[in-house]
Structure 1
Amino acid sequence: MTRWIASLPMYNVTPQHAAAWRSLLSDSLGIVARSFDIGDVTIENAPEGELMPHWRREDLLLSQTCGFPYRVLGLANEVRLIATPIFDAPGCEGPRYRSVLAVSSQAWERGAKTLEACRGLCAACNSADSHSGMNALRHAVAPLAREGRFFASVLWTGSHAATLRALASGAADVGAIDCVTFALLHDSHPERFDGVQTIGMTASAPGLPLIASRALGEDQTQALRDALDAAHAADAERARTLRLRGFARLRGETYAEIEAIANAAAQQGYPELR
């Protein structure tokens, strides 16, 4: 019997959201199983540490990645693109999204009310392979950088939620947070935004794609796409909790925009966030 694994690791911002994503995934796979023999599937929690090995697994039936590893780090050559979620959150337009530019209240009070005014401050960033936290912020900063530098330092936080905490506590001054994560966190924990001010948004980009192993057949791929649509439509309250409007079918070439954003920063002499 074929054995698969599946997980949706990218927007598990609270236990409530993690449970809702797991429920959506379980229902989707149940619908697929009724119409197509997909074998044995294990639904996993979000893997700890590096996600790239998880995304590259031959037995990956469904997961979600970021556009930066998908396009810039070459994952697109190793996986199938299944769908792209459409979210109902400020900064989203169809299957596209932005990052919220936010500053600590301390930085705001010192005059950091625009990105240009954040020169020489400490930036918080979730990870070096994140489009929303790093690549989008680097692109926004590139025209303002001097001799390849803009910030005094960069604090690598490990997650968008940790970036928000760093800003709220004053451990960092400015950061970029995925607008979907920003909205989901605000829905569940508005108190975490005390001590944080927003100053704008980054450029629009294609949203975080759902992917699968290339071992998945064409018929199975289409069945999975149809099942995601059906599972979304079946539970309006779950969709509301996840701010999920549905799923789009983007072409892989669409994600070249994220590589173009990276290249634009490099061409302006700002290849690294610093």
Structure 2
Amino acid sequence: MYNVSAGVRAGYEALFAALVDVLRADGFRDAVELERAPVLPHFWKRPDMLLSQTCGYPYVTGLRAHVGLVATPVYAFSGCEGSDYSSAIVVRANGAIGALADARGCVAAANDIDSHSGMNALRHAVAPLARGGRFFSALKWSGSHRASLSLVQAGEADLAAIDCVTLGYLRREAPSSLDGLTILCHSAPAPALPFVTGAAVPHAVRQCLQSALLTPSAELASLMAALSIRSFAQCGDDDYARIGALADEVRACGYAQLA
């Protein structure tokens, strides 16, 4: 989910490989294949998916029956608090937008319709300001947070909501991708992106993964630190229901779709 650079990708692959080693030490003998370019959301619905990270919005809107929660990362980035994260609403620096209300009639960029951080969080932020079910003059679906940032930099969009973890990794890995941009405000907090297993993964395997993440070895802790993960928390359906509650608040405002 945070494939912003070769270094970050390698860091997550190393973490997953170390977790497979933990399973092997516990007697796990099944073959494991690393899928580097999964087709989402279909991949998340595979019953034999050993481990992945998913967004909380698709989890509450349709994945719950297909996956089991393992643990939620506690990231060491601005905009994160405990196992919660938020979206940074980003605009061009020295532009005309000084407050969220100033963005009325502007163009927004969003990564994906199923994204909490890029769509649902932004929709929740502007819902109280919408009139007749609209706030923006146009919406551009970019395909990724990084592409949304590029649209704002280029003046093709005026605003985007960016996962603060993505933003943290980009500050470290590709700072030029943030040139000329500034954070206007942050969205409401929500539980961060959970690690999950497929529905057919045995409970004992899921428990082993969960235990390894909640009480990491020195090796795992080192790999986590390289990814700016302080620790992992055990979040459940009640925690992720907060994301659904934000969507309910939006609908109560008569603003069902980001527009």
Which TM bucket (shorter chain)?
over 0.9
Tell me if the contact between 1:29 and 1:227 (Cα under 8 Å) persists in the aligned partners: no
Residues 190 and 242 in structure 2, CA contact (< 8 A), matched pair in contact too: yes
Q: For each residue in 1:109-167, what CA deviation from the matched residue of structure 2 results, as whole angstroms up to 9, or x when unmatched? A: 2x201111111110000000000000000000000000000001001000011111111
Structure 1, unaligned stretches of length 5 or more?
A: 1-9
Match of 2:28, as an amino acid?
Answer: D
Kept after mapping to 1: 8 A contact 2:118/2:162: yes
Report SS of the residue matched to 1:143. Answer: helix
Matches within 5 A, 1:211-250: 211-229=196-214, 233-234=218-219, 238-250=223-235
Report Cα offsets for 1:54-82 as digits up to 9, x if no partner: 0000210001110010002x211221111
1:86 to 65, 68, 74: 74
Q: Report the AA paired with residue 130 of structure 2.
A: A
Aligned alpha-carbon RMSD (Å): 1.5
Residue equivalent to 1:150: 135
What residue in structure 2 maps to residue 162 of structure 1? 147
2:5 to 8, 14, 38: 14
Alignment of 1:53 with 2:27, yes or no, is no
Q: Which moved more, 1:199-208 or 1:235-244?
A: 235-244
- The CA distance in 2 between the partners of 1:233 and 1:51, in whole Å, is 32
Report the alpha carbon displacement of residue 228 of structure 1 after superposing the two structures with TM: 3.2
Q: Distance in 1 between matches of 2:201 and 2:41?
A: 18
CA distance in 2, matches of 1:238, 1:261: 33
Deviation at 1:190, TM superposition (A): 1.3
- Paired amino acid for 2:116: H
* Cα distance in 2 for residues equivalent to 1:82 and 1:235: 16
Counterpart position of 1:69: 58
Structure 1 counterpart SS, 2:33: strand
Post-superposition, which runs of at least 4 consecutive aligned residues in structure 1 deviate over 4 A? 229-232
1:193 aligns with 2:178: yes
The answer to whether the 8 A contact 1:89-1:179 is kept is: yes
The alignment covers a number of residue pairs equal to 259
| Contact 2:84–2:191 (Cα < 8 Å) also in 1 | yes
Tell me the SS of whatever aligns to 1:228. Answer: helix
How far apart are residue 235 of structure 1 and its match? 5.3
Give the gaps of 5 or more residues in structure 2: none
Normalised to the residue count of structure 1, the TM-score between the two structures is 0.90
